[in-house]
C-alpha cells in the first residue's frame, strides 16, 4: 500500500510548528504527498471538524500542541473549568492575548485542558470515515503524567527512579538531614520546571531550569544555581501549586567527563533511533546547550548490556499498547545498570538520526506499511 492512491497522513497540530515542517520534509524526501494539517484551535472552536478532514484510509497523528501560544491559551481556557480528581492546584482565570515567552502558566490546568481537548477530538474522530490512529489519546495522556507513567512502568517490573511521589510539602524536603532528589512538574516536558536539589545537614543547593519573575515561573535555557533556603523554598512552593513530583537522584554514567542518558525511540514495538544526550550538569536536554554524544562509543561500552537496555525500552513502550511510537528516556548508571526515567508521547522529534537511511518519521511510515 502507498499513500499515492488517496489516503494521507493527517496531522492535528499547530500549523506553523517546526514539527509539522519536519514531518512535511520527510514526506517530501520519501516522495509522498504532504500531510493534511488541521489546527487544534480550529477543531476546538468548531471552525472545522475531524469528520470533514479524515478520508477513508487516512492515518491520523495527534502532534505536540506545544510552542504555539494560541493553542496553549485555548487549552488553558478549556482546562479552567475541568474537575480535578488529583486535588486543588493553581487555576488561572485571566490569560493574556499575546504570548509571554517561556511562562509556565499552570501545567496542571493545561493538562486538564489537553485531556478535555482530546476527548472532543476523539468524539469527532468516531464520526469520521474509517482511518488509523498513530497514538491513542489514553496512552498520550498517561505519558504526559509522570506519576501515572512511573506507576505503570513499575507495575510492569521495570526499574524506575526510587521513591517517586507527588510533592505536597517542600519543607519536608528541606528539613531532611540528607536528600539528593529531582523535582519535576508532573505534566512538564523538555525539563520544564526541573530542579536538581541537594540537602545536607541544613545546607541547601539547587540547580534549575526555572526562574521566577514577578511571581511567575519561566523556562530558562540557562541552568541557574540557587544557594539559599529561601530561594529554594519559594521555587518549590510555586512548583507544588502546579503539581510536581519528587524522586531520588540516580547517578548517570559518564563518557569523556560528561554525564549522559539515552533517548530511545521505540516504533512499532522495536527500538529504532537512539540519541545520546551528554551534559556537564544534571540536565541532559539538548535545548539547554548540551551535546549529542557518540552512540557507537556508548554502545561499545555497554557491550552485552545493550540488549538488556534495548529490551527495557521496548517493554516500557509495550506499557502503552495503543501507541505506535514513543521516546523512552533511559538512565544508565556507572555500573551499567539502567532505569527508565520517562516515556514521551512526542519524543520522536530528532532530526538527522537515521536507521537504515530513515529518520524517526520515515521509520514510523515504514511500520505503518505506507512506504512504497
Residue-wise pLDDT tens digits, 71-95: 999 999 999 999 999 999 999 999 9
Rounded distance between C-alpha atoms, residue 268 and residue 371, angstroms: 15
Provide the strand spans (E) within 117-257. 132-133, 165-166, 178-185, 195-200, 203-213, 216-226, 244-248, 254-255
Count of structural domains, the chain: 3
Looking at the structure, do residues 178 and 265 belong to the same domain, yes or no? no
Residue 20 within any structural domain of the chain: yes
Residue 62 within any structural domain of the chain: yes
Looking at the structure, do residues 51 and 113 belong to the same domain, yes or no? yes
Which strand (E) or helix (H) includes residue 139? helix 137-143
For the ranges 1-15, 42-56, 162-176, 310-324, the lowest mean pLDDT is seen at 1-15
Of the three residues 133, 150, 181, the one that is the final residue of a domain is 133
CA distances from 302 to 279, 335, 355 (A): 19, 10, 19
> Could you tell me the pLDDT band of residue 214, with boundaries at 50, 70 and 90?
confident
Q: Cα-flanking dihedrals φ and ψ of residue 347, to 5°?
A: -90, 30
Residue 126's CB is within 10 A of a number of other CB atoms, namely: 9
Query: What pLDDT score does 4 carry?
Result: 46
pLDDT of 48 higher than 90: yes
pTM: 0.96
Sort 115 into a burial class: Cβ within 10 Å, 0-12 / 13-18 / 19+.
buried
Instruction: For residue 259, give the CATH number of its domain.
Output: 3.30.470.20
SS3 of 48-62: the string is: CCHHHHCCCCCEEEE
Query: Can you say how many angstroms the Cα of residue 313 is from the centroid of all Cα atoms in its chain?
Result: 15
Looking at the structure, do residues 127 and 184 belong to the same domain, yes or no? no
Rounded distance between C-alpha atoms, residue 361 and residue 25, angstroms: 10
Taking the alpha carbons at both ends of the chain, their separation in whole angstroms is 7
Looking at the structure, do residues 233 and 197 belong to the same domain, yes or no? yes
Query: What pLDDT score does 134 carry?
Result: 98
Q: Is the dihedral of CA 115, 117, 122, 123 positive or negative?
A: positive
Of 167, 18, 144, nearest to 75 by C-alpha is 144
Residue 158 within any structural domain of the chain: no
List the domain range (segments joined by +) for residue 186. Answer: 165-248
Are the C-beta atoms of 57 and 6 separated by less than 8 Å?
A: yes
Helix locations, 54-106, DSSP H = 69-80
Query: What pLDDT score does 6 carry?
Result: 66
Looking at the structure, do residues 43 and 104 belong to the same domain, yes or no? yes
Average pLDDT of the residues of the chain = 95
Rounded distance between C-alpha atoms, residue 267 and residue 264, angstroms: 10
Residue-wise pLDDT tens digits, 313-357: 999 999 999 999 999 999 999 999 999 999 999 999 999 999 999
Amino acid at each position: 500500500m502507498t499513500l499515492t492512491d488517496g489516503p494521507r497522513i493527517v496531522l492535528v497540530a499547530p500549523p506553523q510548528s517546526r514539527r509539522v515542517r519536519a514531518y512535511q520534509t520527510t514526506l517530501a524526501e520519501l516522495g509522498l504527498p504532504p500531510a493534511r494539517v488541521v489546527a487544534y484551535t480550529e477543531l476546538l472552536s468548531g471552525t472545522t471538524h475531524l469528520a470533514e478532514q479524515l478520508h477513508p484510509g487516512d492515518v491520523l497523528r495527534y502532534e505536540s500542541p506545544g510552542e504555539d501560544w494560541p493553542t496553549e491559551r485555548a487549552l488553558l481556557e478549556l482546562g479552567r473549568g475541568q474537575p480535578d480528581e488529583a486535588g486543588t492546584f493553581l487555576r488561572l482565570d485571566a490569560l493574556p492575548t499575546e504570548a509571554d515567552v517561556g511562562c509556565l502558566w499552570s501545567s496542571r490546568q493545561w493538562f486538564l485542558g489537553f485531556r478535555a481537548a482530546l476527548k472532543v477530538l476523539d468524539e469527532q474522530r468516531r464520526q469520521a470515515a474509517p482511518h488509523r490512529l498513530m497514538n491513542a489519546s489514553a496512552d498520550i495522556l498517561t505519558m504526559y503524567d509522570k506519576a501515572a507513567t512511573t506507576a505503570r512502568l513499575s507495575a510492569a517490573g521495570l526499574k524506575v527512579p526510587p521513591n517517586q511521589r507527588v510533592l505536597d510539602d517542600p519543607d519536608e524536603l528541606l528539613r531532611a538531614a540528607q536528600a539528593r532528589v529531582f523535582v519535576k512538574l508532573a505534566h512538564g516536558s523538555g525539563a520544564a520546571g526541573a530542579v536538581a536539589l541537594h540537602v545536607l545537614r541544613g545546607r541547601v543547593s539547587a540547580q534549575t531550569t526555572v526562574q521566577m519573575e514577578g511571581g511567575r515561573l519561566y523556562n530558562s535555557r540557562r541552568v541557574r544555581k540557587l544557594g539559599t533556603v529561601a530561594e529554594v523554598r519559594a521555587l518549590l512552593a510555586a512548583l507544588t501549586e502546579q503539581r510536581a513530583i519528587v524522586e531520588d537522584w540516580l547517578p548517570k554514567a559518564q563518557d569523556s567527563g560528561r554525564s549522559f542518558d539515552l533517548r530511545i525511540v521505540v516504533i512499532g514495538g522495536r527500538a529504532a533511533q537512539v540519541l545520546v544526550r551528554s551534559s556537564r550538569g544534571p540536565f541532559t536536554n539538548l535545548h539547554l546547550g548540551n551535546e549529542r554524544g557518540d552512540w557507537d562509543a556508548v554502545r561499545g561500552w555497554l557491550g552485552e548490556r545493550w540488549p538488556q537496555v534495548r529490551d527495557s525500552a521496548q517493554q516500557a513502550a509495550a506499557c502503552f499498547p495503543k501507541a505506535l511510537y514513543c521516546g523512552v528516556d533511559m538512565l544508565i548508571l556507572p555500573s551499567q545498570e539502567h532505569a527508565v526515567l520517562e516515556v514521551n508521547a512526542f519524543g520522536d522529534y530528532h532530526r538527522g538520526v537515521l536507521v537504515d537511511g530513515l529518520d524517526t518519521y520515515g521509520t514510523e511510515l515504514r511500520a505503518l506499511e505506507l512506504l512504497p
